[in-house]
Amino acid sequence: MKDPAEILRPFVSEARHLASPLNMIASDMIRDRSLVQKLDEHPDHFTQNYGLKSEELAALRARDLPQLFQLGLHPFLLVRFAGMMGILEYWQALGAPGRGGWPRNS
């Protein structure tokens, strides 16, 4: 396995979540589910109201969880965002060890 510090660098040592508008968007989405629909139907809402860069918007619209982690979406909010997008086992998309050989729930 790669060094955990290297894997976690965007989150731990670089703390990219501090400057990323992705976290306010995800926080607002939890409270206002209409934003989930706006992501697909009115993406300009996010560039206009949150100062989102094009690669950030693209990652949200593509539900690109590895890229969102790299861009600074906080892990707690990444899990919530994934859930709102219907992605229940988010760790698979992140390439995480996940459940490994542990028994699965149905």
Partner 1 sequence: MPLVGAAAAPHSHLQLFTRPAEDDDYKRLVQKGRDAMFVLREQVERSGADTILVIHDDHFVNFDFRCYPPFAIFVGKEASGSGVTSPAEIQKITGAVYREYEGKSEYASAPSGIPQHMAAWEKQKPYVYNVDVDLSTKLLKGLMERGFDLPFTTDGTMDGEHVLTMNFLNPRADKNLVLFYTNGYVPPLPWPRRCYALGEAIRDIAEASSQKIFVFATGGMSHYPGTPLYGHVDEDFDARILDMLAKGDGADLSKFTPDDLMNHGNGELVNWIIAAGMIGNRPAKVVDYIRLWHIGLGYIYWEL
Question: Residue 74 and residue 42: Cα distance in Å, rounded?
Answer: 24
Greatest CA separation for the chain: 45
Q: Which is nearer to partner 1, 45 or 80 (CB)?
A: 80
Region binding partner 1 by CB under 8 A among candidate stretches 41-49, 55-63, 69-77 = 69-77
Beta-carbon-side half-sphere exposure of residue 25 (alpha carbons within 13 Å): 31
CB atoms within 10 A of CB 15: 13
Please check whether residue 45 is in contact with residue 38, taking contact to mean a CB–CB distance below 8 angstroms: yes
Residues in 17-56 at the binding interface with partner 1, rule: CB under 8 A = 17, 23-24, 27, 30, 33
How many amino acids of this chain bind partner 1 (CB under 8 A)? 40
Positions 74 through 93 that interact with partner 1 (CB under 8 A): 74-80, 83-84, 90-91
Q: What is the DSSP letter of 101?
A: T
- Would you say 29 or 57 has its CB closer to partner 1? 29
> Which is nearest to 20 in space by CA: 64, 62, 74?
74
Applying CB under 8 A, the residues found at the interface with partner 1 are 1, 4-5, 7-8, 11-13, 15, 17, 23-24, 27, 30, 33, 66, 69, 74-80, 83-84, 90-91, 94-100, 102-106
